[in-house]
Amino acid sequence: MAETNYVTQETFDKMQAELHRMKTVDRPAASAAIAEAREKGDLKENAEYDAAKEAQGLLEARINQLETTVATARILDTSSINTNRVSILTRVTLLNMNTKKEVTYQIVSEGEADLKAGKISVTSPIGSGLLGKSVGDVAEVKVPAGVLKFKIEKIAV
């Protein structure tokens, strides 16, 4: 049984649009590339044909993966999120106790994680270490470099 993927409505819409594009544009293009390569003669020594078949296989694998993700997606409504504790889709302002620097992260699903945008995965060491904590709590997070201590300053949506 596939695990549930928690996503925002925006991410769900993007996934559906990408899936639609792959099925309606990319799949016919891959078939056309194979047909064009097939017309060029002997298939045993046709590198273009082999490359087109491999590209089609990768596309089909990506389509299958995205279909599974969409099928197991659960759309989270930001209006129903409790900001008393850190949970998925909350925006958390933290004070790194070692460096005394303040950072803000949004806790998101694995597929939405983007550190440059300030989005960390709920399954990452920091994300999972913060879950369930309240404002004022100190979270000790085990990371490959050791243990980091974060004081939770603010929780918002």
18 — pLDDT class (breaks 50, 70, 90): very high
Q: What is the pLDDT of residues 72-119, one digit of tens each?
A: 888 887 777 888 899 888 999 999 988 999 999 999 888 788 889 999
**Both structure tokens of 74:** 């659960």
- State the fold for domain 78-156: Chitinase A; domain 3 (3.10.50)
Q: Parallel, antiparallel, or unpaired: how do β-strands 138-143 and 73-75 relate?
A: unpaired
Give residue 49's pLDDT band: very low, low, confident or very high (50, 70, 90): confident
Amino acid sitting at position 124? S
- Region 56-75: what's the mean pLDDT? 92
- Which CATH code of 1.10.287.180, 3.90.1170.50, 1.10.3720.10, 1.10.1370.30 fits the domain covering 5-75? 1.10.287.180
At residue 2, the pLDDT reads 56
Rounded Cα gap, residues 21 and 9, in angstroms: 18
Q: What residue ranges do the domains of the chain occupy?
A: 5-75, 78-156
**What pLDDT band is residue 6 in, cutting at 50, 70 and 90?**
confident
Is the model's pLDDT at 43 over the cut of 70? no
In the predicted model, is pLDDT for residue 1 greater than 60?
Answer: no
Task: Give the rounded percent of residues in the chain with a pLDDT score beyond 90.
Answer: 48
CB 54 within 8 A of CB 101: no
